[in-house]
Chains A and B, each alone.
Chain A
Amino acid sequence: GAGVSQSPSNKVTEKGKDVELRCDPISGHTALYWYRQSLGQGLEFLIYFQGNSAPDKSGLPSDRFSAERTGGSVSTLTIQRTQQEDSAVYLCASSPRDRARFSYEQYFGPGTRLTVT
């Protein structure tokens, strides 16, 4: 079946511009995560959506970062007034989190490589 998809795959933007990154999770997955991965680094948690609950925004690095998840499916990560240090790969993952089974498997999208010049 279709996996997690992200668009665009690559984005080059000028410093100070706003960007929007899109994530389409696997159909039926209730949990959605955004991570940032700088070159050669680990996975930095940004934000987590679970069903209709309020999102966990504890990983967002500044108020320039925000995310929405419409209709419990597609999510958009917005970065306002981009800075060079925002350059990284932004990964989205979805999970068929099931309270009864305590399933936490995450399935990652291919990522969006953001370059701020």
Chain B
Amino acid sequence: GENVEQHPSTLSVQEGDSAVIKCTYSDSASNYFPWYKQELGKRPQLIIDIRSNVGEKKDQRIAVTLNKTAKHFSLHITETQPEDSAVYFCAAPISSGSARQLTFGSGTQLTVLP
């Protein structure tokens, strides 16, 4: 069925290095791609999103790129800091019956090593 796949499931980087998390989706009609950050014991929070009419969006150290042809999008974090350590979830609206709803990837545990 329609779904969202996320890789890697865990990622460790040295402080100051970059981190990249990738997601693929199957529904070609998907048009909105958010990324959520969930710190330990806290709720998921939206950190950045992109719509299908653009290929890249940046917000300070965070960027998201979208390749609609290949149906994948990626989160890029530059100059990583210890506070970036968290679980990151991608999502995409996927058809479910007559509706479309946001479907989440399985998450990536990012650890930034000091």
Q: Contact partner of B44 among A50, A56, A91, CB < 8 A?
A: A91
Task: Tell me the count of chain B residues lying within 8 A, CB to CB, of chain A.
Answer: 25
Check if B70 is an interface residue, CB within 8 A of chain A.
no
* Of A17-25, A69-77, A79-87, A104-112, the one with at least 4 CB within 8 A of chain B: A104-112
Min CB distance B104 to A, Å, is 5
A105 touching B43, Cβ below 8 Å: no
Complex alpha-carbon distance, A113 and B42, angstroms: 11
Task: Tell me the count of chain A residues lying within 8 A, CB to CB, of chain B.
Answer: 22
Chain B residues, Cβ within 8 Å of A103? 32
Check if B97 is an interface residue, CB within 8 A of chain A.
yes
Complex alpha-carbon distance, A56 and B96, angstroms: 8
Complex interface bits, A42-66 against B, C-beta within 8 A gives 1, otherwise 0: 1101001010010010100000000
